[in-house]
């Protein structure tokens, strides 16, 4: 078993997890799985998150202080942001193209869509949250919960256009360090700290850099240690997720997918296009890495992204894979990946574009070109604003629906299949980060 590489062991853990959840569902043991196996999955996510904040802090400081030239830092920063933005816009566009061609929303019966349309008209007249009638079976998000999600999303919307810059600057770094959602603030502090190290005298800087280096190595080692248990933890995670979805009645899961099947397939297909076509092509064109090399190098990070649904939790492993297997320099890994995990979510933006158009189609609402362009813009922004945690993309979808005048409560329609789509879009988010960091690193080597 030990001779098998880690990603194979993780795959075996995943397959066993799916098998176990099916068996336990058939034997009526789902509650046992939820009580006694699933908690190990939560422990795994906690362990990864525990490492993520200090690792980001020390690796960004290390990355920045090793650049030692502010204009070089600016150049890498601009290249990174440009590449992230381009891949996100490309991804939204692929999503829009697919959903407009395949039209998953039109698969629903005409009567149902007409009924949906009436509910929509009533809602747009009232501009109140819909009463939920006309939703597909499987709708299980309460109105209170949707309202809370809307309030969360509105916090992002009603602010000044400069609010995102204000939000970048922490007023108390110790508070930010205690909050996993404050990754951008921590990155800001780390960049500031790293630049200041460059500005102080060499004599004073050397011990600080040595300490940061050593701490960084400790946290990287922690990743290796935690990953030793990854196959088992992934088994626990997957069996827990499926058992919670299915309970003791597996047919329930199939029922949910029946209504939302074509929509889910369009999202899968779009995400697969990004992972299996776009990123490998970009990698080959810009870095010369072959298909096999690329996937072998980042497979462990992809598996973890799939199992945890969180780019933030996966970040320590992504950094390890990109540095050790793809050969990206530490200074680029430490700078580009933590930013990417927080702002670059190609999978999330693609899913948001497909979801909005699908929901419009099933309510017989035609979206014109301006509205579709609004989707490109808001889905890009909403994916930047999404935290790198499970279901964040679903909450931010409210902003995109709002922007094109659709009912935010419709998120409850797609909620039943969201977890599985979240697992897949997180793989895309992580693969996109790995691709951009390799491209930025290569472009630095060429200059």
Residue 378 CB, shortest distance to ligand ASP, in Å, is 15
Alpha helices in 68-142 (DSSP H): 70-102, 110-126
CB crowding 342-373: b at 16 or more within 10 Å, else e? bbbbbbbbbbbbbbbbbbbbbbbbebeeebbe
Q: Which residue lies nearer to ligand ASP by CB, 105 or 432? A: 432
Q: How far is the CB of 348 from ligand ASP (least distance, A)?
A: 3
Contact between 70 and 422 under an 8 Å Cβ cutoff? The reply is no
- Return the number of the residue (422 or 441) whose C-beta is nearest ligand ASP: 422
CB of 351 vs ligand ASP, minimal distance in Å: 7
- CA separation for the pair 406, 127 (Å, rounded): 10
- Report the distance separating Cα 389 and Cα 180, nearest Å: 9
Of 108 and 355, the one with the shorter C-beta distance to ligand ASP is 355
What is the closest distance, in whole angstroms, from the C-beta atom of residue 121 to ligand ASP in the complex?
Answer: 30
Handedness of CA 99, 102, 103, 105 (dihedral sign): negative
Closest residue (Cβ) to ligand ASP? 393
365 or 417: CB nearest ligand ASP: 417
Minimum Å distance from CB 370 to ligand ASP? 25
Cα 195 from Cα 219, distance rounded (Å): 22
For residue 434, the minimal CB distance to ligand ASP (Å) is 13
Closest CB 269 distance from ligand ASP, rounded Å: 17
Of 254 and 272, CB closest to ligand ASP: 272
Binding site for ligand ASP (CB under 6 A): 309-311, 345, 348, 386, 388-393, 422, 425-426, 429
Nearer to ligand ASP, 256 or 312 (CB): 312
Handedness of CA 235, 46, 350, 279 (dihedral sign): negative
Nearer to ligand ASP, 334 or 393 (CB): 393
Cα 148 to chain centroid, rounded? 21
Measured over the CA atoms of residue 158, residue 132, residue 345 and residue 371, the dihedral's sign is negative
Q: Which of 243, 230, 232 is nearest to 35 (CA)?
A: 243
């Amino acid at each position: 078993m030990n001779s098998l590489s880690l990603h194979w062991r993780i795959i075996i853990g995943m397959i066993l997890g799916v098998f176990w959840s099916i068996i336990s569902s058939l034997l009526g043991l789902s509650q046992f799985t939820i009580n006694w196996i699933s908690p190990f999955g939560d422990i795994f996510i906690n362990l990864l998150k525990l490492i993520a904040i200090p690792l980001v802090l020390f690796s960004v400081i290390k990355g920045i202080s090793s650049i030692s030239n502010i204009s070089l830092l600016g150049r890498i920063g601009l290249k990174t942001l440009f590449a992230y933005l381009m891949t996100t816009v490309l991804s939204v566009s692929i999503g829009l193209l697919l959903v407009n061609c395949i039209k998953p929303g039109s698969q629903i019966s005409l009567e149902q869509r007409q009924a949906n349309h009436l509910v929509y008209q009533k809602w747009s007249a009232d501009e109140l949250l819909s009463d939920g009638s006309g939703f597909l079976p499987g709708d299980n998000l309460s109105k209170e919960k949707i309202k809370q999600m809307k309030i969360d999303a509105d916090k992002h919307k009603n602010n000044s256009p400069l609010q995102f810059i204000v939000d970048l600057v922490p007023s108390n770094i110790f508070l930010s360090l205690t909050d996993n959602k404050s990754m951008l603030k921590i990155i800001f502090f780390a960049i500031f700290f790293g630049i200041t190290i460059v500005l102080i005298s060499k004599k004073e800087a050397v011990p600080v850099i040595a300490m940061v280096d050593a701490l960084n190595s400790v946290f990287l080692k922690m990743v290796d240690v935690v990953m030793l248990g990854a196959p088992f933890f992934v088994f626990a995670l997957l069996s827990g997720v499926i058992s919670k979805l299915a309970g003791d009645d597996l047919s329930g899961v199939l029922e949910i997918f029946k209504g939302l099947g074509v929509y889910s397939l369009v999202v899968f297909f779009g995400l697969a296009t990004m992972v299996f076509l776009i990123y490998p092509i970009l990698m080959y064109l810009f870095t010369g890495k072959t298909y096999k090399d690329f996937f072998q190098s980042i497979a462990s990070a992809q598996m973890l992204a799939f199992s945890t649904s969180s780019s933030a939790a996966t970040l320590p492993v992504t950094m390890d894979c990109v540095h050790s297997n793809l050969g990206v320099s530490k200074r680029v890994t430490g700078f580009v990946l933590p930013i990417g995990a927080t702002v670059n979510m190609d999978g999330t933006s693609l899913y948001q574009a497909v979801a909005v158009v699908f929901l419009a189609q099933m309510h017989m609402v035609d979206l014109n070109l301006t509205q579709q362009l609004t989707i490109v813009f808001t889905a890009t922004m909403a994916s930047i604003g999404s935290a790198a945690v499970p279901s964040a993309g679903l909450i931010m979808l409210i902003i995109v629906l709002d922007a094109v005048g659709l009912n935010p409560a419709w998120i409850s329609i797609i909620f039943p299949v969201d977890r599985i789509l979240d697992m897949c879009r997180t793989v895309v988010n992580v693969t996109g980060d790995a691709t951009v960091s390799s491209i930025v690193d290569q472009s630095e080597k060429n200059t």
